[in-house]
Amino acid sequence: MMIIMKSSATPQDVERVIAKVKSVGLAVHLSQGVEATIIGAIGETHSLPTDQFEVMDGVEAVQRITQPYKLASRQFHPENSVFPIDGFSVGGEELALIAGPCAVESRSQIIETAHAVKEAGANALRGGVFKPRTSPYSFQGLGEEGLEYLAEAREQTGLPVVVEIMSQVQVALMVKCVDVLQVGARNMQNFNLLRVIGETQTPVLLKRGLSASIEELLMSAEYILAGGNKQVLLCERGIRTFETATRNTTDINAIPVLKSLTHLPVILDPSHSTGHFDYVAAIARAAVAAGADGLIVEVHPDPAHAMSDGRQSLKPEKFTAMVKQVSQIAEIMDRRLASVQAPVH
């Protein structure tokens, strides 16, 4: 960390900054130039907030040299993280393809969808049972009943299940029932939740917040990693911008940026990032071409009667067509869609 002093800073100002740097256990490297005096703070600075220095008399600016995250950084872990999700692995050659409805609505709906997405080539099943809804009057999910239906769908198809968790009080129940814990965009900075999840050994799908920066996404991943859970899968799902032609703006740049900054696998959710089924296949292809490690896609057998997100859900036949296109792009990228075996009974 470098602290740049104002040209008007007094020797006392410089002394006070140096004393403060030393007081937090860092070494000092002083550089006095004609235009500016610069104080380098050397040591474990990633946990040090910059504003303690910015506020001091005589300080012009504070510049970090190292990233504020460590466990998530590729700098200290150059190899890709590859970890298994019941039947296949993410982060390596295999692409994750998670598909299913926004919400589990009934036993028949989730079982029908599970078979349909499995047949089309998906290797994991999504389906929410606790739903974060903007309106208190909207359908809030089936709760535990939904978890039972998901268990049956997994039993029949062999697909691991990915389910959103909304509160730390749900953790004990969820880790027994699901294969991947999904942290939704609105909870990306629910730090109490992140800490509790970090203490489990269940893989986590961490979605980027609507207006979270890439650095903040990595800091949230750091919370989970710091707790001891190393199986974090990052997910770009669109950010909020001024553009209203689509529900969100897919930040496709985030794919190569994240792949360069972190060793964690990165997937994309084209359903939320566009908000309209017409655009899902194009953005799914783009994600894989940009280097994503997988996709999570909303599929519903009857979108017009979906209780939520019908507008952005693919019918199974459109999903099947999408998978074919994505497979071809994957091949060019030296990747392939992982396939999951049905359980033998």
**Which of 77, 107, 115, 186: binder of a second copy (CB under 8 A)?**
186
- Complex with a second copy: residue 204 or 290, whichever CB lies closer: 290
Residues 85-124 that bind a second copy (CB under 8 A): none
Q: Does 306 bind a second copy (CB under 8 A)?
A: yes
Is-contact 3 31, C-beta < 8 A?
Answer: no
**Which of 119, 145, 215, 317: binder of a second copy (CB under 8 A)?**
215
Q: Interacting stretch for a second copy, rule CB under 8 A, among 89-97, 110-118, 211-219, 337-345?
A: 211-219
How far apart are alpha carbons 147 and 18 in whole angstroms? 57
Is-contact 319 117, C-beta < 8 A?
Answer: yes
**In 3-state terms, what secondary structure has residue 235?**
strand
**Which of 77, 107, 311, 318: binder of a second copy (CB under 8 A)?**
311
Q: Does 133 bind a second copy (CB under 8 A)?
A: yes
How far apart are alpha carbons 56 and 20 in whole angstroms? 10
For residue 163, give the H/E element and its range. Answer: strand 161-165
- Complex with a second copy: residue 249 or 320, whichever CB lies closer: 249
User: Strands 88-90 and 83-85, how do they pair?
Assistant: antiparallel
Q: Does 47 bind a second copy (CB under 8 A)?
A: yes
**Which of 18, 24, 252, 321: binder of a second copy (CB under 8 A)?**
252
Q: Does 31 bind a second copy (CB under 8 A)?
A: yes
Residues 276-305 that bind a second copy (CB under 8 A): 277-279, 282-283, 285-291, 303-305
Q: Does 344 bind a second copy (CB under 8 A)?
A: no
How far apart are alpha carbons 207 and 234 in whole angstroms? 6
Q: Does 176 bind a second copy (CB under 8 A)?
A: no
Q: Interacting stretch for a second copy, rule CB under 8 A, among 84-92, 106-114, 146-154, 205-213?
A: 205-213
Q: Does 9 bind a second copy (CB under 8 A)?
A: no
How far apart are alpha carbons 234 and 85 in whole angstroms? 14
Instruction: Report the length, in residues, of the chain.
Output: 345
Is-contact 92 187, C-beta < 8 A?
Answer: no
Q: Does 269 bind a second copy (CB under 8 A)?
A: no
CA angle 276, 282, 283 (to 5 degrees): 75
Radius of gyration of the chain (CA): 23
Q: Interacting stretch for a second copy, rule CB under 8 A, among 89-97, 113-121, 155-163, 206-214?
A: 206-214
Q: Does 211 bind a second copy (CB under 8 A)?
A: yes
If phi > 0 it is left, if psi is from -120 to 50 it is alpha, else beta; for residue 240 that is beta
- Complex with a second copy: residue 47 or 341, whichever CB lies closer: 47
Q: Interacting stretch for a second copy, rule CB under 8 A, among 62-70, 78-86, 109-117, 174-182?
A: 62-70
Q: At what angle do helices 316-332 and 107-120 cross, to 10 degrees?
A: 30
**In 3-state terms, what secondary structure has residue 37?**
strand
Q: Does 213 bind a second copy (CB under 8 A)?
A: yes
